[in-house]
């Protein structure tokens, strides 16, 4: 018998009623016929609806079939039954109904291959609270830089919308949220209150039939509750074997003396390994080896939570396959992809042993091997492979881990697949399409942007030009679903004594885009000659030699295009981590383009790292993420 699934509670307010009584149908090819004999209707919303079915075998042989209970096109319960020739089997099916405020009627159907029967049932409305606070149990005072975990129990798990000081923040939707409400039967949201003051937090649950709200007042003050601590961990090594057979242990403390529980997470896999109850000011929590099975490069994340939801977090360990001659590293994926499209995963295999090895590399999704290839590697040899599969059709956006594994090693990475169902809510995306930069100090800087409504309903919002957190210009747009418009924003730049580069941002309530522009001192609006025209430069990164090994030379090739009417001689800089690691000057005539190669010797690192590199100059810039393999 099935409970309501995460984000799959059936709203009983279906708009179609059918007459009371049986409506059995039998196909010409069906060996079995099904008849609804009895239900416990009417039931109160939230209670279990039970359905008894007779399954008759009208053939001359034993038949095994799956019998399903269907509500609003959802198979809410199934069972398998074997019926001998001429016999009748009795089957019980059922599901937990969705709470409603008003009494409703709707059809339920029992079906198997070629045969079905339908009956109308009634569900009474309920006045019980449909959303209840869990933690904090009341309004709470906390110190600045303290994180609070808010929790509510609701009959509509996964549909909680969280608001801070009247502004929508997010919904309790995603892998960690669904795993937490599977384990705790509660929706949660965490927020760090950075400075003193008073804040209002609201959890709003809205369905087709009802809306309920739970609220907290949080006072951020110097004498409020503070963060629980993780004082010590055992083992002390931060890397542990995936086949470890000893427990994990943390010593925790709470300055306020209100320890409540320790939550053990396995990162990348997005699962809760266990929850340990603790109390008082100091305690020790252990995770038995029977409660975990490590995955390569998966971190163990520990939450320590007090009685009012104040939370501390640490990631003291990472699982790793140890002492194996073959290493596997995922170097890239094609995600995000649309549901039904092919997802490709690129991985690097290296034989660190002393003998040649032939191994099967497998792409694993939800414990299923979806692709495999065989690789022969000599000692010290490395090879990059590409595996992939056609993703499954899903209606909503989902994130999940994919794993490339061999018999000796594995690596996992979380990917995203876009669902086929368009959001009904409006969403205005924005992309900067051009500027008139560089301009001279005191001249008018104009920024052009394209705004698109990617949601399902009409939207009216302000589009803002933001410089140094100040809104310097704005305009209001109204767009229907799928409509696009172009806006032009601008402002008179400030006088400066030196040439400056800075970011400008065009933002809606849902999205933002940023572009670096350049303003020249003394009204000098160009890098080129003074013939009266102005250059207009754009920069793009055309290629890199990444991935490279740590200590090797990383080369970045950039294209510079001058769409203006005067020559320009910008200095292009390669920036890594805020440092200029290489530079070169180029001259680009009006309407011309050129390329320049920049690079630097990467730093020695022990682990694989990915980071952004930027090429900038002439008031334009471009960014690319690169990967360096650890030594």
Alpha carbon distance 97, 126 (integer Å): 12
**Residue showing tokens 């030379």:** 553
Extract the tokens encoding 541: 């990164």
Query: 48: closest CA among 92, 110, 109?
Result: 92
pLDDT of residue 223: 94
For the chain, give every residue range classified as CATH 2.60.40.1940: 229-320
Alpha carbon distance 384, 329 (integer Å): 9
Q: What three-state secondary structure class fits 117?
A: strand
pLDDT of residue 25: 52
**Residue showing tokens 């090819």:** 29
Extract the tokens encoding 203: 């959890």
- In CATH terms, is domain 131-220 a member of 1.10.10.10? no
Q: Are 8 and 73 in contact (CB under 8 A)?
A: no
**Residue showing tokens 């399903």:** 68
Neighbour tally for 416: CB within 10 Å: 13
pLDDT of residue 579: 80
Q: H or E element: which one contains 98? A: none
For the chain, give every residue range classified as CATH 2.60.40.10: 25-124, 131-220, 326-418, 428-519, 537-629
Alpha carbon distance 298, 321 (integer Å): 10
**Degrees to nearest 5, angle at CA 471 with 469 and 473:** 150
DSSP summary character for residue 501:
E
pLDDT of residue 396: 72
Q: H or E element: which one contains 296? A: none
What is the end-to-end Cα distance of the chain in Å, rounded? 53
Domain 326-418 belongs to what topology? Answer: Immunoglobulin-like (2.60.40)
Alpha carbon distance 75, 273 (integer Å): 29
Alpha carbon distance 576, 578 (integer Å): 5
Q: H or E element: which one contains 416? A: strand 410-418
For 254-308, what is each residue's pLDDT tens digit?
A: 999 999 999 999 988 889 999 999 999 999 999 988 877 778 888 999 999 999 9
Q: Residue 16: phi, psi to the nearest 5?
A: -120, 125
Alpha carbon distance 588, 599 (integer Å): 21
H helices of 162-308, in order, are 175-184
DSSP state letters, 562-604: E-SSS-B-PEEEEEETTEEEEEEE--B-TT-EEEEEEEEEPPP
Bond prior to 438 in cis (omega within 30° of 0) = yes
In Å, the largest CA–CA distance within the chain is 100
Extract the tokens encoding 240: 């542990």
Q: How many residues does this entry show for the chain? A: 631
The superfamily in CATH containing domain 428-519 is Immunoglobulins (2.60.40.10)
Residue 442 backbone zone (phi > 0: left; psi -120 to 50: alpha; other: beta)? left
Extract the tokens encoding 561: 């295009």
Which of 2.60.40.1940, 1.10.3720.10, 3.40.1160.10, 3.90.1150.10 would CATH assign to domain 229-320?
2.60.40.1940
The CATH classification number of 537-629 equals: 2.60.40.10
Q: What three-state secondary structure class fits 267?
A: coil
The CATH classification number of 25-124 equals: 2.60.40.10
Alpha carbon distance 394, 400 (integer Å): 13
Extract the tokens encoding 592: 């011309």
Residue 377 backbone zone (phi > 0: left; psi -120 to 50: alpha; other: beta)? beta
Alpha carbon distance 88, 212 (integer Å): 47
DSSP summary character for residue 290:
G
Provide the sign of the torsion angle of the four alpha carbons 90, 96, 98, 99, taken in this order.
positive
Q: What is the dihedral of CA 129, 135, 139, 144, to 10 degrees?
A: -150
For 522-559, what is each residue's pLDDT tens digit?
A: 544 444 444 456 778 888 887 888 888 888 999 998 88
Interacting residues of 485 by C-beta distance below 8 A, sequence separation 6+? 450, 451, 477, 479
Query: 215: closest CA among 125, 292, 150, 276?
Result: 150
**Residue showing tokens 């941002």:** 505
Segments of the chain scoring below 50 in pLDDT:
1-22, 26-28, 423-425, 523-531
Neighbour tally for 166: CB within 10 Å: 7
């Amino acid at each position: 018998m099935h409970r309501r699934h995460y984000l799959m509670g059936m709203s009983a307010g279906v708009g179609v009623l059918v007459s009371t009584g049986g409506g059995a149908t039998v196909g010409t090819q069906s060996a079995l016929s099904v008849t609804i004999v009895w239900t416990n209707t009417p039931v109160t919303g939230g209670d279990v609806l039970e359905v008894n079915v007779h399954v008759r075998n009208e053939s001359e042989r034993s038949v095994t079939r799956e019998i399903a209970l269907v509500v609003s096109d959802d198979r809410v319960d199934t069972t398998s039954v074997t019926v001998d020739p001429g016999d009748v089997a009795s089957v019980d099916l059922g599901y937990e109904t969705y709470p409603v405020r008003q009494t409703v009627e709707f059809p339920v159907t029992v079906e198997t291959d070629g045969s079905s029967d339908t009956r109308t049932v009634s569900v009474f409305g309920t006045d019980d609270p449909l959303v209840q606070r869990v933690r904090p149990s009341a309004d709470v005072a906390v110190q600045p830089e303290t994180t609070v975990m808010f929790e509510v129990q609701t009959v509509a798990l996964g549909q909680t919308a969280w608001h801070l000081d009247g502004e929508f923040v997010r919904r309790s939707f995603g892998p960690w949220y669904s795993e937490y409400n599977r384990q705790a039967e509660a929706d949660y949201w965490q927020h760090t209150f950075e400075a003193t003051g008073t804040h209002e937090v609201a959890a709003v649950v809205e369905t087709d039939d009802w809306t309920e709200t739970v609220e907290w007042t949080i006072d951020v003050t110097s004498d409020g509750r503070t963060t629980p601590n993780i004082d010590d961990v055992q083992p002390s090594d931060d890397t542990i074997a995936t086949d470890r057979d000893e427990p994990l242990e943390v010593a925790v403390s709470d300055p306020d003396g209100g320890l409540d529980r320790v939550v053990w997470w396995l990162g990348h896999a997005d699962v809760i390994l266990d929850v340990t109850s603790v109390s008082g000011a100091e305690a020790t929590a252990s995770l038995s080896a029977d409660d975990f099975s490590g995955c390569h490069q998966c971190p163990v994340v520990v939450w320590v939570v007090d009685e009012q939801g104040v939370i501390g977090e640490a990631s003291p360990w990472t699982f790793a396959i140890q002492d194996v001659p073959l290493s596997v590293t995922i170097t890239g994926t094609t995600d995000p992809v649309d549901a039904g499209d092919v997802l490709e995963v690129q991985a690097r295999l290296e034989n660190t042993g002393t003998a040649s090895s032939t191994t099967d590399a497998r792409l694993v999704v939800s414990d299923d091997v979806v692709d495999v290839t065989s690789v022969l590697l000599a000692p010290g040899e490395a090879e990059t492979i590409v595996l992939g599969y056609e993703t499954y059709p899903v209606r909503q956006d989902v994130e999940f881990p994919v794993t490339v594994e061999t018999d000796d090693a594995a690596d996992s990475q979380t990917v995203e697949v876009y669902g086929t169902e368009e959001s009904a809510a409006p969403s205005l995306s924005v992309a900067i399409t051009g500027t008139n930069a560089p301009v001279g100090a005191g001249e008018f800087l104009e920024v052009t942007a394209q705004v698109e409504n990617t949601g399902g309903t009409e939207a009216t919002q302000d589009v803002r030009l933001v410089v140094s957190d100040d809104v310097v210009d704005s305009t209001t747009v109204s767009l229907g679903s799928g409509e696009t418009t172009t806006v032009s924003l601008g402002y008179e730049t400030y006088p400066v004594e030196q040439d400056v580069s800075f970011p400008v941002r065009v933002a809606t309530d849902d999205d933002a885009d940023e572009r670096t522009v350049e303003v020249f001192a003394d009204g000098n609006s160009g890098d080129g000659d003074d013939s009266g025209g102005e250059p207009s430069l754009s920069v793009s990164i055309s290629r890199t030699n990444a991935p490279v090994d740590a200590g090797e030379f990383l080369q970045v090739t950039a294209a510079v295009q001058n769409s203006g009417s005067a020559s320009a001689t910008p200095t292009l800089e390669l920036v890594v981590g805020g440092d200029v690691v290489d530079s070169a000057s180029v001259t680009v005539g009006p309407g011309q383009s050129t390329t320049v190669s920049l690079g630097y010797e990467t730093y020695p690192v022990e682990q694989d790292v990915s980071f952004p590199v930027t090429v900038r100059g002439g008031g334009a810039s471009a960014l690319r993420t690169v990967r360096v393999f650890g030594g």
